[in-house]
Amino acid sequence: MRRYIAFVVLLGLLLGVLVWVTSFVTEAQGLMNPLAWEEIYDLTIEHIQMVVVAEAIAIAIGVPLGILIALPQFRALSPPVLGFAGVGQSVPSLAVIAIMSPIFALLSLNSTGYWPVVVALIIYGLMPIIRNAFAGMSNVDPALIEAGRGMGMTQGQIIRQVQIPIAISVIVAGIRTSTTLNVGAATLGVLNGAGGLGEPILSGMATSTYLVTLQGGAAAAALAVIVDRLIGGVESWLTPKGLLVAQS
Amino acid sequence: MIELENVIKVFPDGTEAVKDLSLKVPRGEICVLIGPSGCGKTTSMKMINRLIPITSGKIYVNGQDIQTFNPQDLRRNIGYAIQQVGLFPHMTVRENIEVVPKLLGWSKQERLKRARELLDMVGMDPDTYLDRHPSELSGGQQQRIGVARCLGADPPNLLMDEPFGAIDPITREKLQDEFLRIQDEIQKTIIFVTHDIDEALKMGDRIALMSEGELIQYSTPPELLANPANDFVRDFVGADRALKELRLLRGEEVMNPTPPTVDANDSFQVAREKFEREDQQTGRLRRYMLVVEGDHFRGWVDRHDLDGQPEDGHVRDVIIKSAATAGPDMSMNQAMATVLSNAIGNLAITDEQNRLLGLLTFNSIRRVMAQSYTGEEAAEPTDDDTLETEEL
Ligand SMILES: Nc1ncnc2c1ncn2[C@@H]1O[C@H](COP(=O)(O)OP(=O)(O)O)[C@@H](O)[C@H]1O
Ligand SMILES: [Mg+2]
């Protein structure tokens, strides 16, 4: 595991260095119009912003929803909710983005640019979040819930003091999967004119300046790797100590 | 005090889990609910703290109808322990024990004081264990914490569903003994569920034997063994009923509380006179006598060792150390085992300070065993129980 993490971090660094180096290559050296470092930086920020907004909303919807459908009184809702989220996930990300534009148009909203893409990313990213929150909460040993009830905890106290602390690492793992997926999926946002790191990828291909495509791709990959590690860190930081001992 | 009045439970699927159960558990007593799997023990118990709603009937806790309480308030005032222990893995031992006190709004200092007190009570060092997590404890230690947790807010009533269930037999015996010792001090009213008849006989002041949702017999352990209500009870208790009765008989009940003794500080002359007086009273020749020093048990003296000793000597110069002694709680089957494994004929019964309480002879053990097999009235220990003619 540790070797795997080291490998992934190294890969991320290499990709980063690649992007950085390519930005210094000039036409004079016989290559074609690479993007300047500042341009890549701006696109990356744009990309991050898109993903962060989508994830924040996906988390705000997905985590409570996953927790809710794991409760005994709403358990009946879990098959339809998980089924709906599953559809969002199994449809290719490109199709989810593509379908948002006509839907926005139908609702007479601005059908190009940022928001249709963000909504698509929310739908695409919801599934791992809901699924993990649901699994984490419903996999808590029923004996613990029974013990809590028998000692006079209210349902809210059981959720907050027993179930969530035990399920937290699984919940965060869902957020991690979702975010990492969406860093990739957001590169397709350019097809609806949303900007981000998809832009150099697409324009590079359109104009056969493959170095630019490489820059965009490498930046997106580096971002995905970094995000994955970062949230992985949050995950182990949030996991209660007693559960870490249990796992070792 | 816990009282059930004509309680019936029918589950939504039509299962009649409890049929017209009436039961009264007096304050400070352990009532063991026992019966074959699926007979309704757990259901009966969970109706008391309203984890399962009753279909009809009434349940009173300390004289008050449980329906008049808010369920959470009711449960916070009834200790609850389950077979799976159910310690919260993400909390420390301390946090686990403090769950109910915290729900009740105790201050931090009060809670910590109580957690330490309870760890002491269950025989675990507070400084070592307070901040450990359940995963760092052995199975037996987890069960102890389970017990400590259900005593957290010092509730007068406890519900325990196979609290020593998932554990090896040796640790289990130990936990049972410890729990009985604790119960001696704390005097809680307890409903204790088990499916193990030996545990029931050992733990229960009263045993409620259930079958298919019905109460078949509710009586004290000796009564259950001696007078089974029907064949079901007889079968459930098992063929070795007589042996089980022995387990319930304690040394204290069988011993001769006033055996003849000599004092370690007696001169040989005085000791010889005591032997002779005994011989005259019983009409037999006594060989060994208990040696005490004040109240305290010191060993044995062989009358042959008194002969030919210098006249200024004392009994203590010829004391034979005792190979084994027993506490007043020692059961007859344990006493028998002790006598046999030490190849001795007699067992001095002493308290924790080694004060002599009485004498258990091989003969008296043998007699109560015979009685429990033939079912005849137990005779009072007689003088010839104290006749020591065999080797120690
Ligand atoms: N929630 C439930 N719904 C339907 N039947 C149940 C439920 N809980 C228990 N039962 C049934 O009620 C009976 C008594 O169960 P229980 O009290 O758990 O038995 P015990 O604890 O004596 O083994 C069993 O037949 C069991 O299958
Ligand atoms: Mg049961």
Chain B neighbors of A165, CB-CB under 8 A: 90
Residue of B82, B134, B136 lying closest to A143 (CB–CB)? B82
Where does ligand 1 bind, in terms of residues with CB under 6 Å? Answer: B 11, 13, 15, 17, 35, 37-43
In a domain? residue A77: yes
Question: With 50 as the cut, is the pLDDT of residue A8 above it?
Answer: yes
Residue with tokens 């919940």: A171
Residue B91 is part of a domain; what is its CATH number?
3.40.50.300
B225 lies in the same domain as B106:
yes
Question: With 50 as the cut, is the pLDDT of residue B386 above it?
Answer: no
Give helix A210-238 / helix A37-69 axis angle, nearest 10°: 40
**A69 to A79, A132, A159, A195, B161: CA distances (angstroms):** 9, 12, 13, 36, 30
In the structure, ligand 2 is a single-atom ion and the residues with CB under 5 Å from it are: B 42
Length of chain A: 248
Identify the bridge partners of residue B159 per DSSP, sorted by sequence position: B80, B191
Number of domains observed in the structure of chain A: 1
B270 lies in the same domain as B365:
yes
B43 Cα nearest atom in ligand 1: 17
In a domain? residue A5: no
Residue with tokens 């007086």: B277
Q: What is the pLDDT of residue B288?
A: 87
B191 lies in the same domain as B324:
no
B255 lies in the same domain as B242:
no
Residues on chain A bordering chain B, Cβ-to-Cβ distance under 8 angstroms: 141, 143-144, 146-154, 157, 162, 165-166, 240-243, 245-246
B74 reaches A (C-beta below 8 A): yes
The span from the CA of A64 to the CA of A188, in Å, is 28
The span from the CA of B338 to the CA of B211, in Å, is 37
Share of chain A above pLDDT 70, in %: 91
* Widest CA span in chain A: 77
If one residue of B15, B159, B193, B215 were mutated to test the ligand 1 pocket, choosing by the most ligand atoms within 8 A of its CB, it would be B15
Average pLDDT of chain B to the nearest whole number? 89
Task: Compute the nearest-CA separation of A242 from chain B (Å).
Answer: 5
Q: Is B87 exposed, middle or buried (0-12, 13-18, 19+ CB in 10 A)?
A: buried
Residue A68 is part of a domain; what is its CATH number?
1.10.3720.10
Q: How confident is the model at residue A245 (pLDDT cuts 50, 70, 90)?
A: low
Question: With 80 as the cut, is the pLDDT of residue A49 above it?
Answer: yes
Q: What is the pLDDT of residue B383?
A: 45
B31 lies in the same domain as B133:
yes
A121-126 average pLDDT score? 91
Q: How confident is the model at residue A132 (pLDDT cuts 50, 70, 90)?
A: very high
Residue of A147, A241, A245 lying closest to B86 (CB–CB)? A147
Range with top average pLDDT, A87-101, B177-191, B321-335: B177-191
Question: With 80 as the cut, is the pLDDT of residue B385 above it?
Answer: no
Q: What is the pLDDT of residue B79?
A: 95
Question: With 70 as the cut, is the pLDDT of residue A46 above it?
Answer: yes
Residue B304 is part of a domain; what is its CATH number?
3.10.580.10
* End residue of a domain, out of B248, B282, B302: B248
The span from the CA of A13 to the CA of A226, in Å, is 9
If one residue of B42, B191, B192, B214 were mutated to test the ligand 1 pocket, choosing by the most ligand atoms within 8 A of its CB, it would be B42
Q: What is the pLDDT of residue B322?
A: 86
Question: Ligand 1 centroid to B2 CA: how many Å?
Answer: 22
Q: What is the DSSP string of B234-260?
A: HHHH-TTHHHHHHHH-BHHHHSBSS--
Identify the bridge partners of residue A73 per DSSP, sorted by sequence position: none
Task: Compute the nearest-CA separation of B92 from chain A (Å).
Answer: 7
B360-379 average pLDDT score? 72
Share of chain B above pLDDT 70, in %: 95
Tell me what ipTM this predicted complex has. 0.82
B11 lies in the same domain as B66:
yes
Task: Compute the nearest-CA separation of B32 from chain A (Å).
Answer: 19
The span from the CA of B137 to the CA of A239, in Å, is 20
In a domain? residue A235: yes
Hey, are the CB atoms on B103 and A152 less than 8 Å from each other? yes
Q: What is the pLDDT of residue B392?
A: 40
Q: Find the closest chain B residue to A238 by CA distance.
A: B90
Domain span at A126: 35-247
Residue of A152, A162, A241 lying closest to B88 (CB–CB)? A162
Q: What is the pLDDT of residue B152?
A: 94
B198 lies in the same domain as B313:
no
Helices (H), chain B: 41-48, 71-76, 93-97, 99-103, 108-121, 126-129, 139-150, 169-186, 197-203, 221-226, 231-237, 241-248, 251-254, 268-282, 332-341, 362-374
B200 lies in the same domain as B272:
no
In a domain? residue A82: yes
B222 lies in the same domain as B264:
no
Q: Could you tell me the two tokens for B151?
A: 């005593």
B18-28 average pLDDT score? 95
In a domain? residue A133: yes
Q: What is the pLDDT of residue A3?
A: 63
In a domain? residue A206: yes
In a domain? residue A71: yes
Hey, are the CB atoms on B76 and A165 less than 8 Å from each other? no
User: How far from each other are the two terminal CA atoms of chain B, in whole angstroms?
Assistant: 48
Q: How confident is the model at residue A32 (pLDDT cuts 50, 70, 90)?
A: low
Q: Are B98 and B115 in contact (CB under 8 A)?
A: yes
In a domain? residue A17: no
Which of B88, B94, B102, B151 is the mutation pick for testing A, counting most A CBs within 10 A?
B88
What letters, b where the CB count within 10 A reaches 16 and e where it falls short, cover B151-169? bbbebbbbbbbbbbbebee
B116 lies in the same domain as B197:
yes
The span from the CA of A228 to the CA of A225, in Å, is 5
Question: Ligand 2 centroid to A177 CA: how many Å?
Answer: 41
* End residue of a domain, out of B184, B215, B248: B248
* End residue of a domain, out of B248, B279, B308: B248
B254 compared with B130, residue with greater pLDDT: B130
Element (H, E) at B82: strand B78-82
Among A177-191, B38-52, B231-245, name the one with the lowest average pLDDT: B231-245
A11-22 average pLDDT score? 73
Domain span at B358: 251-390
Question: With 70 as the cut, is the pLDDT of residue A137 above it?
Answer: yes
Task: From B79, B221, B216, B74, select the one nearest B146 (Cα to Cα).
Answer: B79
Chain B neighbors of A149, CB-CB under 8 A: 51, 75
Number of domains observed in the structure of chain B: 2
Among A64-68, B18-22, B87-91, B385-389, name the one with the lowest average pLDDT: B385-389
Question: Ligand 2 centroid to B41 CA: how many Å?
Answer: 6
Q: Whose CA is nearest to atom 1 of ligand 1?
A: B11
Q: What is the pLDDT of residue A244?
A: 80
Which tens digit of pLDDT belongs to each residue from B269-305?
A: 888 888 889 888 888 888 888 999 989 999 999 888 8
The span from the CA of B54 to the CA of B47, in Å, is 6
Q: How confident is the model at residue A30 (pLDDT cuts 50, 70, 90)?
A: very low
B45 lies in the same domain as B177:
yes
Amino acid identity of B82? I
Side-chain-facing half-sphere of A233: CA atoms under 13 Å: 7
- Listed by number, the residues of chain B in 43-72 with a beta carbon closer than 8 Å to a beta carbon of chain A are 46, 49, 51, 71-72
A71-89 average pLDDT score? 88
Hey, are the CB atoms on A143 and B86 less than 8 Å from each other? yes
Question: With 50 as the cut, is the pLDDT of residue B173 above it?
Answer: yes
B238 lies in the same domain as B267:
no
